[in-house]
Amino acid sequence: MAELATASLIREEKTKRIAEVQEKLRAAKMAIVTDYRGLTVAQMTRLRRQIREAAGEYQVIKNTLARRALKDTAYGSLDSLLEGPNGWVFAYEDPVTLSKALVKFINENDKLAIKGGVLDGEYMDQAKVKVLAQMLSRAGLQAKLLALLQAPAVQLLRLIQEPGARVVRLLETLRKGKSEA
């Protein structure tokens, strides 16, 4: 009887864990599967901190639980990557910023490898994740857009101010010419 109770508790715990992973997948804008073999505890801690600073999360999830959680989600294509120990990266805000942090960490620690990921329902291999990391972040794109929007107004303002500035420069030249004479 105790064995049945224990098995029931384990099953409930697994069901609860699968629901948690599904919730993370629903909340995430991007998910990346990594191979973390060879990383030390200190390196894993630093990786988690860097990803958390980029509005993400890094977790190790058992493959059997991950497979069940991936069913009927936009991340189902990641099922084929679930061999060996896997770390999961979830991006909750800006996928570009998170991919930059991940690629930077990989460049510093060659033990971590990207297996693949999904962004907006589209599968990305390691190369596509690295290309994503080279893009401008959301804040960078907003700043560039703002500069482009302001450029015509700035040019118009300079154009309007130029005749007055010419008159001032002419008067200043005349004043200097009279004071020397």
* Alpha carbon distance 152, 149 (integer Å): 7
pLDDT score of 115: 92
Domain co-membership, 21 together with 101: yes
My answer on whether 130 and 141 are in the same domain is: no
Does 37 share its domain with 120?
A: yes
The H-assigned helical ranges of 28-137 are 41-53, 63-70, 95-108, 126-134
* Residue ranges making up the domain that contains 81: 2-135
Q: Are 88 and 163 part of one and the same domain?
A: no
Residue 113 phi, psi (nearest 5): -135, 140
Q: Are residues 126 and 141 in the same domain?
A: no
Examine the domain organization and report whether 131 and 146 are in the same domain: no
Are residues 78 and 148 located together in one domain of the fold? Answer: no
Which CATH number belongs to the domain containing residue 56 in this structure?
A: 3.30.70.1730
On whether both 24 and 39 belong to a single domain, the answer is: yes
pLDDT at 47: 93
Q: Which residues of 41-60 are buried (b: 16+ CB within 10 A; e: fewer)?
A: eebbeebbebbeebbbbbee
Of residues 16 and 145, more confidently modeled: 16
Residue 33 has pLDDT above 90, yes or no: yes
pLDDT on residue 3: 66
Q: Does the pLDDT at position 1 exceed 80? A: no
For the sheet with 113-119, list strands across it: 56-60, 87-91, 30-35, 113-119, 122-124
**Who has greater pLDDT, 10 or 53?**
53
Per-residue model confidence as pLDDT tens digits over 89-143? 999 988 999 999 999 999 998 888 999 999 988 899 888 888 888 877 677 767 7
- Predicted pLDDT at 91: 92
Asked if pLDDT for residue 15 goes beyond 80, the answer is yes
The pLDDT value recorded for residue 128 is: 87
Looking at the 3D structure of the chain, how many domains does it have?
Answer: 2
Does the pLDDT at position 4 exceed 70? Answer: no
**128/148 same-domain check:** no
Do 34 and 86 lie in one domain? The reply is: yes
pLDDT of residue 152: 81
152 and 113 together in one domain: no
Give the pLDDT confidence score for residue 181 in this predicted structure: 61
60-90 pLDDT, tens digit per residue, is 999 988 988 988 788 888 888 889 899 999 9
Cα separation, 48 vs 65, in Å, equals 21
Same domain, 111 and 43: yes
